[in-house]
Chain A
Amino acid sequence: MVVTSPRSSSVSVDAGARPDRATHVRLEAFDGPLALLLSLIEQRQLDVLEVPLGDLAGAYLEALSGLGDARLPHLSTFISVCSQLILIKSRALLPRAPASETTTIEPEDDPEAELRARLVLYKLYRDAAGRLALRSIGNVAMAHRDADVAAAAGVAGAQPPAVRPLDSALLVEALSASLRLAPPTPPPPEVMPRSVTLAERSAIIRTALRSAPTFVLQELLRDVRDRVVVAVTFLAMLELVKMRELSVEQARPWGPIVCRAAPVADAHQGSA
């Protein structure tokens, strides 16, 4: 069975290239290594069932190098087939050990048979897809009753197809006319950037410390409803701890954070 290429393959040879030597192919997105290999075989008008696959290793490598970076996400699958081809080629080139001639090679140990089977199976469905494509001439071959579609189409179809489509200039004109009619939009309210500074929150903590020897952070923030203010106050507290002005204690997770002024001498232990 000589394989011809009945279907317009998505893989095509560059114009001007001789099919039997061609290695510059154009691969559509989402086409894989088997599509590439099969196209190389078909461009050479070889039979996929009989062609020594090892012979194609060079052409495949060259074609692969011409594919460019767009193929990178799927590169591993291309490389995997490539390595199989090189293995097949090397087995064909190297002399066999005498023992292996007597032992029959199991099909699963024969990379060429395995790759050929994959190719043949792939070709089976690729050709089937070609026949399916021939059936799909229009966008709709058959349609069923669908209340929504019928209603929508009934409305849309009320306009006879002979009427010329509206000029887009009309639309622009209508839009600009309605813009003139529309009242001017009020200026947006001025947005004041809110600033919550560490210094500001540190000052509040210091004030709290001056009025009492200890205080609980949660108590200090009891009336605060703003998460940012809470977060910045917490950061300010950590900052004061770092500056050894403050020592904090928390007996259990989520428990009250007790803050007290750190004695200068005990600063190290206080911050523990």
Chain B
Amino acid sequence: MIGEDEASNAADLGGAGDLPVLALEALLFVAERPLSRQEIASLSGAPRETVDARLGDLEVDLRDRGIRLLSVGDRVQLSTAPEAGALIARYVGLSGVRLSPASLETLAIVAYRQPITRGAIERIRGVDSDHVLRSLLHRRLVTEQGRADSAGRPILYGTGFDFLERFGLTSLDDLPPLDADVAAQLAEEGRDDSLTSDGDATTDELVTRDPELGDPPPEDATDA
């Protein structure tokens, strides 16, 4: 469906270089998976900057509506507004399990520090986190994002759309800020980095992924 016959689709959207917000909204509405900005650009024929700008417009337009624009790295997706959560939960019949404190703690570390290896998570928590991490992976709150280029090529973990949806966030920028005092103190002492880079992957520079992509696609996504 999407991705086929891009030229004719571009024509339908009002010509190359143009991407009305309503067309963008319609495209995201019908898409049953997250779309990358690059994919939208090639579908619509609009330049990447236009796509970014229209997505920004759409996000603002949707603020008071029942749907929201979510973004994870390069990809965007429409989701229902958190205010409608109770009703939607009744419709889809989801009965998720409450997360344990250990799961939440691990999830917070992954969310704020992604991409991060299991070793780095365990150094922060001070305890084996394999089981907790696996259960988060199983619930798709944590996703694999590639592998670090360090010895053993450990898996790098991050969060995706399921995480944002679970916590009613539209992007990682929406995460509640970390305790400013503590963060400042850690930065000042230079402790934070020494803890995470010790003997394991430094996640920032050793990541094997294409910087162009911004966000590594999960295994089921097909970026254009």
A residues adjacent to B (C-beta < 8 A):
1, 9-10, 28-35, 49, 73-74, 77, 81, 107-108, 113, 117-118, 120-133, 135-136, 138-147, 149-150, 153, 156-157, 161
Contact = CB atoms under 8 A, between A and B. Distances in A.
- Find the residue from A30, A34, A35 having the highest chain B CB count within 10 A: A30
B168 interface: yes
A153 B91 contact: yes
- Find the residue from A123, A140, A153, A161 having the highest chain B CB count within 10 A: A140
A125 B120 CA distance: 13
B26 interface: no
B22 interface: no
Interface stretch (B10-18, B47-55, B101-109, B150-158): B101-109
Contacts of B94: 139-140, 143
B6 interface: no
B220 to A, nearest CB: 12
Contact of B165 (A35, A121, A140): A140
Interface string B155-193: 000000100111111000001101101110110010110
Given A1-B181, A34-B125, A125-B125, 6 more contacts: A9-B101, A10-B101, A30-B100, A77-B127, A120-B186, A136-B167
B99 interface: yes
A120 B126 contact: no
A126 B105 contact: yes
A121 B112 CA distance: 12
Contacts of B191: 107, 117, 120-121
A125 B107 CA distance: 9
Contacts of A28: 100-102
A143 B108 contact: no
A144 B78 contact: yes
B157 to A, nearest CB: 14
B85 A124 contact: no
5 contacts: A28-B102, A122-B125, A142-B68, A142-B82, A153-B92
Nearest to B183: A124
Contact of A143 (B131, B165, B186): B165
B40 interface: no
A129 B176 contact: no
Interface in B58-111: 68, 70, 77-82, 85-86, 88-102, 104-105, 107-109, 111
Given A141-B85, A146-B32, A32 B79 contact: no
Contacts of A123: 179, 182
Given A30-B129, A121-B192, A142 B102 contact: no
Contact of A32 (B78, B127, B176): B127
Contacts of B194: 108
B32 A147 contact: yes
Which 6 pairs, one residue from A and one from B, show the smallest C-beta to C-beta distance? A32-B127, A139-B96, A141-B168, A10-B101, A30-B102, A117-B191
A248 B29 CA distance: 79
A133 B85 contact: no
B112 A125 contact: yes
- Find the residue from A28, A49, A118, A124 having the highest chain B CB count within 10 A: A124
Contacts of B109: 125
A141 B167 contact: yes
B195 interface: yes
A132 B167 contact: yes
A30 B165 contact: no
Contacts of B125: 32, 34-35, 122, 125
Given A124-B186, A142-B165, A144-B79, A157 B93 contact: yes
